[in-house]
Amino acid sequence: MRARDLGIVCDGTPGKLNAITDVPGLEVGMVTLISGEGELVPDKGPVRTGVTAILPVGRDRMQQAIPAGIYSLNGNGEMTGSHWISETGGLSGPIMLTNTHAVGTVHRGVIEWVKQNNPQAAMEWLLPVVAETWDGYLNDINGPHVTTQHAITAIDLAKNGEVLEGSFGGGTGMNCYSFKGGNGTASRAVDFGGKEYVVGAFLQANFGDRKELRITGIDMSDLDVPNPMADSTWIEKDKSRIAPGGAGSVIAVIATNAPLLPDQCRALARRVPLGLARTGTAGGHFSGDIFLAFSTANPGPLSSGFPTLPRHDAKLSTLDFIPWNYLDAFYTAVVQSVEEAVLNALVNNVTMIGRDGNVSHAIPHDQIKLRLAAR
């Protein structure tokens, strides 16, 4: 069940799947790790985590750089490879999402995948893009549960079509507005020059305080689920507690098949906070809110490998792009798809119990329906 199945009406026209995979050629793969229950045993579990791989142009053209841009609303987080994207305007390879303490392992996993599948590319240099959010409320985050093989498998499993939302892949152990969070995706169709393009969003949502939550403008801050955070002694008294709010981070990946320049991709990434704000968040100091946007329309010209020709034999490269004064519709598509992706992450989910009996409650569908009906 997704947000629209509850009667939540979001603005804009979605793509066929209402997912980031509406962008042609884009593939998503996930590995989900769930095991153990009860008290935390360091390095043993319980485990509630995983890895997500997003391949902008599929496996065959993975090393061809595409235009990309990054924006950080709040920097309490990590996205490796970001400096090179800012330097060159190009993104190559997969985008990997996992938990905070598995970034290094997944980074190495990408290198191992390239070594196995494209040895020549590995002989130059690799700066994989790996981003994270913190799942330590439910997961034994310090344990070595994510391996390089999990990263490799996530890449190998990547495909187009429907995307797993909620508690899968890197989003397995995440919380959003103190409800169960994780993966959310949505898309919007945009017409330009007689052609229909797609803007898609994928979020690893692990942010927001319960008191902030709004759904299509309706206050949802007091939905009736246990909230022992109101009691200063709740840790000792109640093991069925909820996720703390206001921290944890959100990674947003924005994709489009519309031809854009790197600075235009960065402009799309800067619109992500407007979509997040529609759901209530003001952004928090302890939340790493980092956003990456890219265009799949011009693979290759921004690649920065070692030169293969003498300078006098090399040729100019060109990029097609939509004129700046026609980008407003694409900005709007980002805002709309990000808002709905957050709601899908909340709605398309289930309650999860993690380490030490910590509980992340699924958002109550019945109460949302009642409030929407009473609007």
For 374, the 3-state DSSP assignment is coil
- Tokens 């996530």 belong to residue: 154
Sheet holding 288-295, edge to edge: 90-91, 66-75, 288-295, 250-256, 195-205, 182-192
Residue 289 falls in the annotated catalytic set: yes
CA neighbor of 353 nearest in space, from 202, 226, 252, 268: 226
Of the residues 249, 295, 337, 360, which is catalytic? Answer: 249
Find the catalytic residue in 289, 295, 337, 360.
Answer: 289
DSSP sequence for 69-119: EEEEEEESS-BTTHHHHHHHSEE-S-EEEEEGGGHHHHHHHHHHHHHHH-H
DSSP 3-state of 276: helix
Which tokens is 75 given? 């920097």
Question: C-alpha dihedral over 13, 18, 23, 27, to 10 degrees?
Answer: 180
Catalytic residue among 82, 92, 187, 287: 287
d(CA 214, CA 120): 50
Location of structure tokens 């609007």: 375
Query: How far apart are the C-alpha atoms of 309 and 311, rounded to whole Å?
Result: 6
Write out the catalytic residue numbers. 249, 287, 289
